[in-house]
Amino acid sequence: MHKKTERPDTAARATRTPRLAWTAAATLLASLLAPAAHASLFSGETLDAVADGAAWVVLFIAPIAAIGIFLIIHILPEKIAEKKQHPQLDAIKTLCLLSLVFGGMLWPLAWLWAYTKPVAHKLAYGTDKVPPHDAGGALHLLDDSGVNEKKEA
Protein backbone atom coordinates (compact mmCIF):
# COMPACT_ATOMS: atom_id res chain seq x y z
CA MET A 1 0.00 0.00 0.00
CA HIS A 2 2.59 2.56 1.01
CA LYS A 3 5.87 2.72 -0.89
CA LYS A 4 9.00 3.30 1.07
CA THR A 5 11.42 5.83 -0.28
CA GLU A 6 14.59 4.18 -1.31
CA ARG A 7 17.85 5.34 0.13
CA PRO A 8 20.72 5.98 -2.21
CA ASP A 9 23.28 3.27 -2.09
CA THR A 10 26.50 3.77 -0.24
CA ALA A 11 28.64 3.95 -3.41
CA ALA A 12 26.77 7.06 -4.66
CA ARG A 13 27.16 8.66 -1.24
CA ALA A 14 30.87 7.94 -1.22
CA THR A 15 31.41 9.69 -4.59
CA ARG A 16 29.55 12.80 -3.41
CA THR A 17 31.67 13.30 -0.28
CA PRO A 18 35.05 13.75 -2.03
CA ARG A 19 33.48 16.04 -4.64
CA LEU A 20 32.06 18.23 -1.85
CA ALA A 21 35.44 18.34 -0.13
CA TRP A 22 37.21 19.37 -3.35
CA THR A 23 34.63 22.07 -4.02
CA ALA A 24 35.00 23.47 -0.51
CA ALA A 25 38.80 23.40 -0.76
CA ALA A 26 38.75 25.15 -4.17
CA THR A 27 36.38 27.83 -2.85
CA LEU A 28 38.54 28.46 0.21
CA LEU A 29 41.71 28.63 -1.90
CA ALA A 30 40.10 31.05 -4.40
CA SER A 31 38.87 33.35 -1.63
CA LEU A 32 42.32 33.42 0.00
CA LEU A 33 44.17 34.16 -3.25
CA ALA A 34 41.70 36.73 -4.58
CA PRO A 35 42.87 40.35 -4.56
CA ALA A 36 41.14 42.85 -2.32
CA ALA A 37 38.08 44.49 -3.87
CA HIS A 38 38.10 48.25 -4.43
CA ALA A 39 34.78 50.06 -4.50
CA SER A 40 36.07 53.07 -6.40
CA LEU A 41 38.48 53.98 -9.14
CA PHE A 42 39.69 56.87 -7.00
CA SER A 43 41.50 57.02 -3.70
CA GLY A 44 42.52 59.62 -1.14
CA GLU A 45 41.90 63.28 -1.99
CA THR A 46 40.54 62.44 -5.44
CA LEU A 47 37.86 60.26 -3.91
CA ASP A 48 36.89 63.08 -1.53
CA ALA A 49 36.69 65.59 -4.40
CA VAL A 50 34.55 63.24 -6.50
CA ALA A 51 32.26 62.57 -3.54
CA ASP A 52 31.92 66.32 -2.88
CA GLY A 53 31.06 66.94 -6.52
CA ALA A 54 28.49 64.15 -6.53
CA ALA A 55 26.94 65.51 -3.34
CA TRP A 56 26.59 69.00 -4.89
CA VAL A 57 24.95 67.52 -7.96
CA VAL A 58 22.54 65.33 -5.99
CA LEU A 59 21.62 67.93 -3.36
CA PHE A 60 21.43 71.14 -5.42
CA ILE A 61 21.75 70.82 -9.17
CA ALA A 62 19.48 67.79 -9.75
CA PRO A 63 16.51 69.17 -7.72
CA ILE A 64 16.73 72.56 -9.45
CA ALA A 65 16.85 70.86 -12.85
CA ALA A 66 13.95 68.56 -11.91
CA ILE A 67 11.82 71.51 -10.77
CA GLY A 68 12.65 73.41 -13.96
CA ILE A 69 11.75 70.46 -16.18
CA PHE A 70 8.55 69.91 -14.18
CA LEU A 71 7.50 73.54 -14.69
CA ILE A 72 8.37 73.49 -18.39
CA ILE A 73 6.29 70.36 -18.89
CA HIS A 74 3.40 71.89 -16.95
CA ILE A 75 3.11 74.92 -19.22
CA LEU A 76 3.03 72.81 -22.39
CA PRO A 77 -0.81 72.74 -22.51
CA GLU A 78 -0.79 76.56 -22.31
CA LYS A 79 1.67 76.79 -25.19
CA ILE A 80 -0.37 74.34 -27.27
CA ALA A 81 -3.61 76.21 -26.61
CA GLU A 82 -1.93 79.50 -27.48
CA LYS A 83 -0.55 78.09 -30.73
CA LYS A 84 -3.95 76.70 -31.72
CA GLN A 85 -5.66 79.97 -30.72
CA HIS A 86 -7.94 78.06 -28.37
CA PRO A 87 -10.86 80.20 -27.19
CA GLN A 88 -10.62 78.78 -23.66
CA LEU A 89 -6.94 79.63 -23.21
CA ASP A 90 -7.48 81.39 -19.89
CA ALA A 91 -9.30 78.38 -18.47
CA ILE A 92 -6.49 76.08 -19.64
CA LYS A 93 -3.95 78.40 -17.97
CA THR A 94 -5.95 78.24 -14.76
CA LEU A 95 -6.13 74.46 -14.93
CA CYS A 96 -2.35 74.29 -15.40
CA LEU A 97 -1.82 76.45 -12.31
CA LEU A 98 -4.24 74.31 -10.32
CA SER A 99 -2.40 71.25 -11.54
CA LEU A 100 0.78 72.59 -9.94
CA VAL A 101 -1.07 72.95 -6.64
CA PHE A 102 -2.58 69.47 -6.83
CA GLY A 103 0.67 67.71 -7.69
CA GLY A 104 0.13 67.39 -11.43
CA MET A 105 -3.06 65.37 -11.27
CA LEU A 106 -5.01 67.86 -13.40
CA TRP A 107 -2.26 68.24 -15.99
CA PRO A 108 -3.53 65.46 -18.31
CA LEU A 109 -6.92 67.18 -18.39
CA ALA A 110 -5.28 70.46 -19.41
CA TRP A 111 -3.30 68.61 -22.08
CA LEU A 112 -6.45 67.00 -23.51
CA TRP A 113 -8.40 70.26 -23.28
CA ALA A 114 -5.68 72.11 -25.20
CA TYR A 115 -5.95 69.61 -28.05
CA THR A 116 -9.76 69.52 -28.26
CA LYS A 117 -11.83 71.51 -30.71
CA PRO A 118 -14.35 73.67 -28.90
CA VAL A 119 -17.50 72.62 -30.79
CA ALA A 120 -19.92 74.64 -28.65
CA HIS A 121 -17.82 77.77 -29.15
CA LYS A 122 -17.93 77.28 -32.92
CA LEU A 123 -21.71 76.87 -32.83
CA ALA A 124 -22.13 80.02 -30.76
CA TYR A 125 -19.58 82.31 -32.37
CA GLY A 126 -19.03 80.79 -35.82
CA THR A 127 -15.36 80.02 -35.27
CA ASP A 128 -13.29 77.74 -33.09
CA LYS A 129 -10.29 80.07 -32.98
CA VAL A 130 -9.76 83.32 -31.17
CA PRO A 131 -6.98 85.71 -32.14
CA PRO A 132 -4.28 85.83 -29.49
CA HIS A 133 -4.78 88.56 -26.93
CA ASP A 134 -1.15 88.43 -25.88
CA ALA A 135 1.60 87.53 -28.31
CA GLY A 136 4.33 87.47 -25.65
CA GLY A 137 4.19 84.16 -23.85
CA ALA A 138 2.05 81.51 -22.33
CA LEU A 139 1.75 82.90 -18.83
CA HIS A 140 1.95 86.48 -17.61
CA LEU A 141 0.58 86.65 -14.11
CA LEU A 142 0.42 90.43 -13.76
CA ASP A 143 -0.93 91.08 -17.24
CA ASP A 144 -3.52 88.31 -17.04
CA SER A 145 -4.76 89.52 -13.68
CA GLY A 146 -5.14 93.11 -14.89
CA VAL A 147 -2.73 94.61 -12.35
CA ASN A 148 -0.63 96.40 -14.98
CA GLU A 149 -3.59 97.96 -16.81
CA LYS A 150 -3.89 101.73 -16.57
CA LYS A 151 -7.08 102.99 -15.06
CA GLU A 152 -8.86 105.68 -17.02
CA ALA A 153 -10.24 108.57 -15.01
Listed by start position, the domains of the chain span 46-141
Q: Under 8 Å CB-to-CB from 26, ≥6 apart: which residues?
A: none
- Nearest CA among 135, 86, 139 for reference residue 111: 86
| Residue 9: per-residue pLDDT | 59
Distance CA 85, CA 115 (A): 11
| Residue 126: per-residue pLDDT | 72
| Residue 21: per-residue pLDDT | 84
Tens digits of pLDDT across the chain (153 residues): 566 665 655 555 555 667 888 888 888 888 888 877 777 788 889 988 999 999 999 999 999 999 999 888 889 999 999 998 888 889 999 999 999 889 889 999 999 999 988 777 667 677 777 776 655 555 555 666 666 666 555
- Whole-prediction pTM value? 0.51
- Nearest CA among 39, 146, 32 for reference residue 90: 146
Distance CA 21, CA 127 (A): 87
Distance CA 135, CA 118 (A): 21
| Residue 152: per-residue pLDDT | 57
User: 107 and 77 in contact (C-beta within 8 Å)?
Assistant: yes
Burial degree of 32 (CB within 10 A; 0-12, 13-18, 19+): exposed
Give the count of beta carbons closer than 10 Å to the beta carbon of residue 82: 22
